[in-house]
Structure 1
Amino acid sequence: MITKERYRIYVVEDDGMLADEICRLLMKWGYEVQIAEMFDNILDEFLTVQPHVVLMDVNIPSFDGFYWCKKIRDISAVPIIYISSRDSSMDVIMGMNNGGDDYLTKPFDNAVLVAKLQAVIRRTYEYSFQESHVLCCRRLTVNLEEATAVYDNKKCELTRNELKILRLLMENQGKIVTRKALMRSLWDDEIYVNENTLTVNVNRVRLKLEELGLQSFITTKKGMGYVIL
C-alpha cells in the first residue's frame, strides 16, 4: 500500500548520465529513486519497484514510453510524467491520451522537474482523500474498481466475495485476519453462515491466484485465520 513516508520514483531513462543526474537531484530532495534497467520489460520492473511516481522517457529501447505508459495504465493509476526531447503538440497529446499526467521537454530546468513532481504528488497523495483503487503485494496487483487481479502479465476476474477476501488480507499484510473478521466482511450476519462457506470462498481465491502463477500467496493459520506474509 502507498505510504506518505518516502516517495519512491521510478526513472525510465536510457541516457545513463541524465538518469544519474535525475537520481542525484531527487535524492537530495528526499526521494527514493530506482532507475530502470530492464527496458525490454518495463512493466515487470514497475511491479517489482512499486513506485509512487514514474518519470518516463519517450525514446527508449524496444518499445517507446507511450507504449509502456499505456501498459502501466492497464493495471495502475500511479502518476506518470513524461520527460522527452520530442516537443511537438502531437507528441504531448499522444502522451496524455496514453495515460500520462504531465509532460516535460528536454532540456529542462531541474527546478521545473522538482516542481512538477511535487505538484503531482500533492494532487495524488496529499490532497486526495479518496481511497486508493489499486492494491499491490508481492507483485500481485488488485484493481478494486475493476475487480481484477494481475500477476506476471496474467489477469483474472474476481467475484465480489473473492475481491473482499483479497482486499482485507492485502490491506493487513503480515497480520493474521481471523475467520470471524472475514465472515463479517463478506456477510452482514455471520451467525447464519456455515464456516465451510468461507473455506470454499478462500479456496476459490487461491485457485485463481495459482492459475495466474502465484503459489502459496495466502497462508492458513490453524485455529486463527489467514495471512499474507
Structure 2
Amino acid sequence: MKILVVDDEKLLVKGMKFNLENEGYEVECAYDGAAAVEMAREGKFNLIVLDVMMPEVDGLEACMRIREFSNVPVIMLTAKSEDADKLMGFECGADDYLTKPFNVLELKARVRALLRRAAGVQRSRGSLLTAGELTLNTEERTAMRAGESVELTAKEYDLITLLMRNPRRVYSRENLMNVVWGYSYAGDYRTVDVHIRRLREKLERNPAEPEHICTKWGVGYYFKE
C-alpha cells in the first residue's frame, strides 16, 4: 500500500512518514497542495493524508482538484475542530478528518479503517463506485443496479454518492442536509428521510429490508458494502 502525506510542517511530515513506514506502508511526501495534486494525478497512491492549512493551494482546494480525476481515499488534517470545517472538508471530497494535535495511534487506526473501506467499495482510478449489484459512474452521474440503468434525481445521486464514498460512516439528518443540500437550505430534515426512502425503492432488492442503505436508529444513515 502506498500513501501520500502532504503538510507544510516538514517535521510533522517526517514523523508521519516514519510511523506509517513502520506499519509497512510505502510513503511519499509533499509540502504544498499543488504538488499533491500533480503527484495524485499519477494514480499510484492508495490513500492521501492531506493538511488543510497550507499556503497558496490549500488542502480543500487540492482535494477538490484531486476529486476531478480520482476517488483515492483522503484523510484531511486540520487545527480546526468545528463541525462546519469538517463538513466543508467532506463537501470537498474528503473521506475522513483528523484534528491536530493528534495521537499517531489514531492516525494509524484511521488509515487502516479507510483502506479497509476502500477495499469494500471498489474505487476505480476514474469514475466507478461499486458495491454488490450497485454501480455509480461519478463522471457520467449514472447509476445501475444488477446491470440495469436507474434514473436518479440530482439530490438522490449526490446523496448515494456521499454514502457510498464513505461506507459505514453514520451521517445524521442534519449532516446530510448540510453536505448535500447546502448550509442555506431551509427545508425540513424529513426531506432526507424521503430521499433515503426513494433511493431504497430504486436501488435495493427489498426496500423494507435494505442491504446497503441502512439506518442507525436514533443517529442517522450509513452505507454497508
What TM-score does the superposition give when structure 2 sets the normalisation length? 0.54
**Structure 1 residues 133, 39: closer, same or farther in 2, change over 3 A?**
closer
Distance of 2:92 and 2:11 partners within structure 1? 27
Q: 1:86 aligns to what SS in structure 2?
A: coil
- For 1:133, the equivalent position in structure 2 comes to 124
Q: Is 1:77 paired with 2:76?
A: no
State the partner residue of 1:10: 4
Q: Is the 8 A contact 1:82 1:102 kept in 2?
A: yes
Question: After superposition, what is the alpha-carbon deviation per residue over 1:201-223, rounded to whole angstroms, capped at 9, x for unaligned?
Answer: xxxxxxxxxxxxxxxxxxxxxxx
1:79-98 equivalent positions in 2, closer than 5 A? 79-98=73-92
1: CA distance, partners of 2:111 / 2:85: 20
Structure-2 change in CA distance of 1:18 and 1:33 (3 Å): same
CA-CA distance at 1:47 after TM superposition: 1.8
Structure 1 pair 40–70 and aligned structure 2 pair: CA distance change class (3 A): closer
Q: Do the aligned partners of 1:40 and 1:61 also contact (CA within 8 Å) in 2?
A: no
State the alpha-carbon separation in 2 of the partners of residues 98 and 38 from structure 1: 17
Structure 1 unmatched ranges of 5 or more: 1-6, 135-141, 148-229
Aligned with 2:42: secondary structure? Answer: helix
What is the RMSD of the two structures over their aligned residues, measured on CA atoms? 1.8
Consecutive unaligned residues in structure 2, runs of 5 or more: 129-136, 141-225
Larger deviation, residues 106-115 vs 38-47: 38-47
Instruction: Give CA-to-partner distance per residue, 1:168-221, whole Å, 9 cap, x none.
Output: xxxxxxxxxxxxxxxxxxxxxxxxxxxxxxxxxxxxxxxxxxxxxxxxxxxxxx
Matches of 1:99 and 1:38 in 2, distance apart? 18
Q: Secondary structure at the match of 1:72?
A: helix
* CA distance, structure 1, for counterparts of residue 43 and residue 66 of structure 2: 13
- Give the residue type in structure 1 aligned to 2:27: V
Shift of 1:40: 3.5
Cα distance between partner residues in 2 of 1:101 and 1:9: 15
- Deviation of 1:45 (Å): 1.8
Matched, 1:42 2:40: no
Tell me the distance in 2 between the aligned counterparts of 1:108 and 1:50.
27
Deviation string 1:39-95 (CA, Å, 9 cap, x unpaired) is 444311222362110101001121110101111111111100011112111111100
Q: 1:34-183 maps to which residues of 2 (within 5 A)? A: 34-37=28-31, 39-48=33-42, 50-125=44-119, 127-128=120-121, 130=122, 132-134=123-125, 142-143=126-127, 145=137, 146=139
Task: Report if aligned partners of 1:69, 1:98 keep a CA contact under 8 Å in 2.
Answer: yes
Cα drift, residue 111 of structure 1: 0.8
Instruction: Indicate if the aligned counterparts of 1:56 and 1:83 stay in contact, CA closer than 8 A.
Output: yes
TM-score (norm 1): 0.53
Q: Percent identity?
A: 33
Give the whole-Å Cα distance in 2 for the aligned partners of 1:42 and 1:66: 12
Tell me the number of residue pairs that the alignment of Structure 1 and Structure 2 aligns. 131
- State the Cα distance separating 1:103 from its structure 2 match: 0.5
CA contact (8 A) 1:12 1:57 kept: yes
